[in-house]
Amino acid sequence: MAILNSRARGKARGLWLLTLASLVVSLFGTTALKNASHRVASPMHAAANVFIDPLASKTLWAGTLDPALISALLDADIVQKIYAGLLKQVYDDRTKQFKVVPDLAAGMPTISKDGLVYTFKIRSDARFSDGTPVTAQDFVWSFERVLSPKANSPVSYYLFDIKGASDFNSGKLKSFSDVGVKALDARTLRITLWHPVVYFPYALTYPTGDVVKKSLPIGANVTSNPSLVVGAGPWMLKNRTWKYRSEIDLVPNPYYWEAKRFTLKEIHLVFTGSNETMLAGYRSGQFPLAWLPSADVVSYRGKPEFRDTVILGDLWYDMNVHIPPFNNLHFRRAVAYAINRSAIANGVDRRTVQPLVGWYPKGILGYDPTIQKQSGVPYYNPSIARSELAMAKKQMKSVPPISLEFATEISDRAREAAEVQANLGAMGIHITLHPVPRATWITDGNSGKTQFMVGDWFDDYPDPQDFSDYLLKTGAGENWGRYSNPTVDKLFAGHSRARPAEA
């Protein structure tokens, strides 16, 4: 669960406020909604020290269990139980914020005065779940495995602040020895950045920073081969196996440095087809908790088992700027003005989300509650939508068929998409709806070949860079609308992100 208080990134405030207006106008008509998570939970199974954790997946399995490839929350939830990295995020009840603390590192790194060199000491008792020691060279291999062009990792960019990482990933550097990750000895790891950035410790907490054994090859099919799942995290596969497309049972990793503090004896990860299936299992006593679709929140709100948690994230609609009709600016603007955010938030989603006009949600530096009043920022206005559509049709020979793709695990997405379909239909823009499993949705989005799709993002860490470089920058893997603007890229770069000439 994410927090509402963000860590400031130096002098970035002016940068983010300046970029918002241009982004929202010309990007993809962002219909953003600040999300909240709602769940019901009972204390059942606690006496047995066993926790049953239901997961909603249409495929009844994870999209991937390889730390090098994680791009979905469900997959990350599993992987981060089994694997570990140098650092991790923990929630501080006193400050109400997540903070970065050592995990397999013996302490926080020493950082050079210029902010470029991070030196970590590995814990002397760091072990994989098979008992073998974790070494600095294991981390070197783990980073190489993520960044290798052969890995085709959709999330390798989490490591691109490391010197040479981007060039190695693109094939410009042929040897990983030229990348700024070095094992100085068995327990000392040095990471050199190409520019100083304060969010780097946060970036290392993403699964791309997790350590794997040197025996795990690039491209290994971890997701369907339990014998390859050997991590150094707090949990491990029970009996080194699983019930494929059904359940993953975890037991404490006896070699994990905090294992003696565990009170839980087992975690059962049970795959369900949807949140509705999960809720049905909760009502029947099969599961101790369930994530609630917005339609069911009203009936549970106020009851003792109900929990309401704010999530720092966005929901929007990606229009691919290279695919007709969204390659036409006026058409994109017509869509942006036609979508009624308030109707979605207050009606469809029963006030479980909040309308958001700008890109950064409340709690992220750059959030601007006054942006709707700024000139040129699209918000629901049928008159302007019709005018923009008329201008678009004058420039286009015809409007091709339009299909809106969304993931099916969360039923709210289908209801939201139906509202968007009605909004656009009222303007004379007719679309069809294309529901797919979340794993397919992610693959299609990353491909850059999908015309129109729902997008969502929940923070990896509370810094605006997490909502910018990974989502909007030219070439970013999660930039599903393929938006590109050199001016915006330069604003993102700011004073600290300009690549040095020698890099």
Instruction: Report pLDDT digits (tens) over 45-97.
Output: 444 799 999 999 999 999 999 999 999 889 999 999 999 999 999 988 887 77
Q: What does the pLDDT average to over 161-172?
A: 97
The CB density around residue 344, as the number of other CB atoms within 10 Å, is: 22
- Which of 81, 89, 45 is CA-nearest to residue 253? 81
Least confident of 28-42, 68-82, 237-251, 335-349: 28-42
The tokens describing 240, both together, are 């080194």
The tokens describing 499, both together, are 């690549």
> Which pLDDT score is estimated for 8?
23
Q: What does the pLDDT average to over 364-386?
A: 90
Q: What does the pLDDT average to over 414-438?
A: 97
- 462/2 Cα distance (integer angstroms): 8
- Which of 339, 328, 302, 303 is CA-nearest to residue 427? 339
**Region for 283 from its dihedrals, namely left if φ exceeds 0, alpha if ψ lies in -120 to 50, beta otherwise:** alpha
Residue 106 pLDDT > 80: yes
Pairing outcome for strands 50-56 and 266-272: parallel
> Which pLDDT score is estimated for 494?
66
Nearest-Å Rg of the Cα atoms of the chain is 23
Residue 308 pLDDT > 90: no
The pTM of this model reads 0.84
- Which of 347, 349, 340, 453 is CA-nearest to residue 411? 349
The tokens describing 275, both together, are 């949140």
Q: What does the pLDDT average to over 407-413?
A: 92
Mean pLDDT of the chain: 88
CA torsion angle 291 294 298 301 (round to 10): 40
- Which of 142, 118, 115 is CA-nearest to residue 128? 142
Q: Provide the residue count of the chain.
A: 503
In sequence order, what E strands does 373-483 have?
402-407, 431-436, 452-458
- Which of 396, 398, 412 is CA-nearest to residue 456? 412
> Which pLDDT score is estimated for 43?
54
DSSP bridge partners of 90: 99
The pair phi, psi for residue 133, each rounded to 5°, is: -65, 150
Exposed, middle or buried by CB within 10 Å (0-12, 13-18, 19+), for 494? middle
Least confident of 129-133, 226-230, 497-501: 497-501
Angle at 493 between CA 489 and CA 496, to 5 degrees: 175
- 467/359 Cα distance (integer angstroms): 8
Q: What is the longest distance spanned by two Cα atoms in the chain?
A: 70
Burial readout 82-109 (b: 16 or more C-beta within 10 A, e: otherwise): bbbbbbbbeeeeeeeebebebbbbbeeb
Q: Give the relative orientation of helices 329-338 and 411-426 as an angle to the nearest 10 degrees.
A: 110
Residue 497 pLDDT > 70: no
Name the DSSP class of 439.
H
- What share of the chain has pLDDT > 90, as a percent? 74
> Which pLDDT score is estimated for 217?
96
